[in-house]
């Protein structure tokens, strides 16, 4: 059924013959869908927002961590719900990590697909671009420092520079709220307990990860990080047989794998008297 959400989406949710709704989008819309679906007791699965924490320990493979954090963080110009937007970096390697991330951000070439040097595309709409720029101003007003980017590109189209905030903390709106744009924040930690506290202090829980050569640290993060997907020395390494979905306000249910199929099935018990 083609059409905008107010037409097609609400018609699908309200229709009495439709028994299952799967939605990918914002938390605001997801909550509205859940409310409307209760009228006919539809099954609902939701894949909503994220504010992915990625912990970088001092024993990490720094080049690999920077390459993956920058690639996945700015993927689709940040229009990616599972993006690692909260980079939680151990203080002893903080400056090195930031320096390398700034170089990566500055080397990116936003543009249209037909431009040969393009490495990142535009923002989906003028409204979304303005939202992203508003969040950048909010971050600066909150005390975060722009280490890279921070502006709209001076060219036709809806382009925002790959942006990196430093001196950020978990109390800032720019750190806590999903921006859905090319804006990453670096937060410092000293001990792993502190890193996990920062990572879990969020309303979201879609995807996160850790870079470390110590598998004891990695296993602890995998156990304690409150994310539907936890990545060790990689990020968003997703396969068709791997369940994908979030904790908290990141959604309900799972996509892919047997877990995803089960969302579309009902369990039926058949009892027979053989006498």
Could you state, in order of their start, the residue ranges of all structural domains in the chain? 1-48, 53-232
From first CA to last CA, the distance across the chain in angstroms is 51
**The pTM of the whole model exceeds 0.85:** yes
Q: Report the top-level CATH class of 53-232.
A: alpha beta
Cβ within 8 Å of residue 38, ≥6 positions away: none
**130-183: pLDDT as tens digits:** 999 999 999 999 999 999 999 999 989 999 999 999 999 999 999 999 999 999
Q: Write out the catalytic residue numbers.
A: 47, 81
d(CA 176, CA 138): 12
Q: Is the pLDDT of residue 69 over 90?
A: yes
């Amino acid at each position: 059924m083609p059409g905008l959400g107010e037409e097609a989406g609400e018609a699908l949710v309200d229709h009495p013959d439709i028994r299952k709704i799967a939605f990918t989008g914002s938390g605001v819309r997801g909550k509205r869908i859940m409310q409307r679906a209760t009228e006919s007791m539809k099954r609902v699965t939701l894949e909503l927002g994220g504010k992915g924490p990625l912990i970088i320990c001092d024993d990490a493979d720094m080049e690999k961590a920077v390459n993956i954090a920058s690639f996945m963080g700015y993927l689709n110009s940040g229009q990616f719900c599972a993006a690692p937007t909260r980079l939680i970096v151990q203080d002893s390697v903080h400056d090195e990590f930031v320096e390398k991330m700034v170089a990566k951000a500055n080397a990116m070439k936003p543009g249209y697909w037909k431009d040969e040097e393009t490495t990142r595309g535009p923002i989906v709409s003028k409204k979304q671009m303005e939202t992203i720029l508003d969040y950048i101003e909010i971050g600066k007003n909150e005390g975060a420092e722009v280490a890279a980017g921070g502006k709209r590109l001076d060219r036709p189209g809806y382009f925002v520079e790959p942006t990196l905030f430093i001196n950020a903390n978990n109390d800032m709106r720019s750190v806590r709220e999903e921006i859905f744009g090319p804006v990453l924040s670096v937060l410092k930690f000293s001990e792993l307990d502190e890193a996990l506290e920062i990572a879990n202090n969020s309303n979201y829980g879609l995807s996160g990860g850790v870079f470390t050569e110590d598998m004891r640290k990695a296993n602890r993060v995998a156990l304690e990080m409150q994310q539907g997907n936890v990545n060790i020395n990689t990020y968003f390494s997703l396969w068709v047989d791997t369940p994908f979905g979030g904790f908290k306000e990141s959604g309900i249910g799972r996509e892919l794998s047997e877990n995803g199929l089960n969302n579309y099935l009902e369990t039926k018990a058949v009892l027979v008297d053989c006498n």
